[in-house]
Amino acid sequence: MTRRLAAWLLAAIAFVAVPAGNAAAQRPPTIAAAADLNAALPDIVDAFTKETGDRVEVVFGSSGVLTRQIRDGAPFDMFLSADENFVFQLADAGVTRDRGMLYAIGHIVLFAPPGSPLVPSEGLEGLGRLLKAGRVTRFAIANPEVAPYGRAAEAALRASGLWDAIEPRLVRGDNVSQAAQFATTGNAVGGIIAGSLASAPNMRDRGTYAVIPDTLHPPLRQRMVLLTRAGPVAERFYTFMQGATARGILERFGFGMP
């Protein structure tokens, strides 16, 4: 076993197991999911289990890291990526059933915790004014090297002419969920995070946010795919993700529908 393969569980930021009334004797499928789904996907999994009686397990992480783990043989059955290009890479490598399908369109938001001088409703222009006044201490984004939401954040900051000034002040999360955690602390004036995380119930008292125009960054086209090892339960969950219940939950968390 390679060191990378042995470390795949350590790279995940969360592990979710949803019990069923009569658990099947066989191993439940494992779903690799982008970190921006951290708030919405547990509700979808719960609804799936209540409707079908099937059980799935979920591992969250950055799409780039999960892609590397899948290439290295991590025992996943399905992949929900925040960037469709990672799915295409895996399809070209021959480890997926096909090239998958779009399940959501993501959005980035400007987020500020209580007491921050940053006012999200003023947009990136307001952030620029704070930078000029020397009032930006730390600012959180996901790591652009592995996280699609980090790449979108960098693109928006570059399009607004703020990248060079803010880069020395950036705190980079391993994924967008970790970036959201950094953005809520008193050490950061805020950050650019996923709208799906900012709109989660547990974030309501942790700050305010405003959507960053999609014209400032490449679209966050989120694609899912079954891996070659997928069995019948994973196939049913893949179908469930295309249905009205799952789509309604995604919309509730601020995702756009393809």
pLDDT digits (tens, 9 = 90+) for 49-74: 999 999 999 999 999 999 999 999 99
Same-domain status, 25 and 54: yes
> Would residue 93 count as lying in a domain?
yes
230 and 204 co-located in one domain? no
Least reliable range by pLDDT among 27-36, 153-162, 174-183, 184-193: 184-193
- Comparing CA positions, the residue from 206, 210, 217 lying closest to residue 181 is 206
**Full DSSP string of 108-148:** EEEEE-TT-S--GGGHHHHHHHHHHTT----EEEE-TTT-H
- pLDDT at 22 (0 to 100): 42
CATH number assigned to the domain comprising residue 61: 3.40.190.10
In a domain, 197, yes or no: yes
Backbone CA torsion sign across 130, 134, 139, 143: positive
Other CB atoms within a 10 A radius of the CB of residue 27 amount to 12
The Cα–Cα gap between 25 and 22 comes to 9
Same domain assignment for residues 202 and 241: no
User: Is residue 147 situated within a structural domain?
Assistant: yes
Q: Please state, in angstroms and as integers, the Cα–Cα distance from residue 138 to each residue in 99, 184, 217, following that order.
A: 39, 11, 22
Find the domain containing 193 and state its range: 108-211
178, 225: one domain: no
Assess if residue 64 is contained within a domain: yes
Note whether residue 120 is domain-resident.
yes
14-17/57-61 β-pairing: antiparallel
Number of domains into which the chain is organized: 2
Whether 39 is covered by a domain: the verdict is yes
* Beta strands 190-194; 30-34: pairing state: unpaired
Q: Within a domain: residue 257?
A: no
Any domain includes 258: no
- pTM reported for the whole predicted model: 0.88
Within this chain, do residues 118 and 181 fall inside the same structural domain, yes or no?
yes
* 101 and 113 both lie in a single domain: no
176-233 confidence digits (pLDDT tens): 999 999 999 868 999 999 999 999 999 989 999 999 999 999 999 999 999 999 999 9
The token pair at 35 is 């970190």
